[in-house]
Amino acid sequence: MKRWLILGLLVFAITAVPAQEEKKPEYGWKNEVVGNLNFTQNSFSNWAAGGEDSWSWQLDVLARFVNDRKDYTWANSGKLSFGKTQVGDAEARKAADEINLESVFTYKMDVYMNPFVAITAKTQLAKGYSYDVSPKAAVAGFFDPGYVTESIGLGYNRGEGFKTRFGAALKHTFTSDFPVPYADDPSTMEIEDTKTEFGAESVTDFSTKLSETILFTSKLEMFSNLKALNQIDINWDNLFSAKLTEYISVSFNIKLFYDRDISIRRQLRQTLAAGLTYSVL
């Protein structure tokens, strides 16, 4: 009798606890647009220790539009960075200039690896100059050079701050006024203003929260035309961002770039900034 009483109590306890509904995934568009504006200014008047007046500003806009469905994901992202700086009586110069657009369509097969197709476009907004010569010489402009890459392959994404994709790719380089050194083939007599390379591309995104207010994001892009190991193009962008208040943030950006067609030496840029941040969406 006791056993039946205990069994009855257990059944009652189990059935009395409300069953938790399985959390269903939320499908549809998820949009985000965030803008950062940083400004620095120094002014000196009869300053015995010396110094020069200076100012600098930089605007960053990051946008992401993702359509997540049961059978597929269509992720679109864009990055715009532009800024200038001036020291003393010298003219203002570009301190940042980047346009980066990406669209990736992934078909979900409910496995670890899923097929994708992607297209990316990269360029700068304004004309760039080299100040190593006098007078200054223009070396780049809007979509001059411009890079467009189409790729197809397999991607891995488990939604835990890490995703990567690898596949075959076509990389196009477009120029108009500056074919050298971006698109021209020095082995030919003709000066080419476009270049198309077939090869393999790998793109890896990683993000993690180092604390409640500090976020680290990293994106590593590699392209190889399959001709030689020392001809792998690398674009590695790393960002530490900390939100001090709802509208004030600081960031530290390190970007490494290598393209042997442009320079046999790696290119490195770092930026430490503090300013206003605002989420549009």
- CATH 1.10.760, applies to 28-279: no
Instruction: Give the amino acid at 60.
Output: D
The string of pLDDT tens digits covering residues 61-114 is 999 999 999 999 999 999 999 999 999 888 999 999 999 999 999 999 877 899
Predicted model pTM: 0.85
Phi, psi of 77 (to 5 degrees): -140, 155
Residue 17: band (very low, low, confident or very high) from pLDDT cuts 50, 70, 90: very low
* CA 161 – CA 26 distance, rounded (Å): 18
Tell me the pLDDT tens digit for each residue of 105-136.
999 987 789 999 999 999 999 999 998 888 99
Dist. CA 145–CA 258, nearest whole Å:
15
Enumerate the domain spans of the chain.
28-279
Distances (CA, A) of 75 to 28, 31, 68, 105: 11, 10, 8, 6
Beta strands 146-157; 137-140: pairing state: unpaired
- 56 within 8 A of 85, measured Cβ to Cβ: yes
User: Could you tell me what percent of the chain has a pLDDT over 90?
Assistant: 62
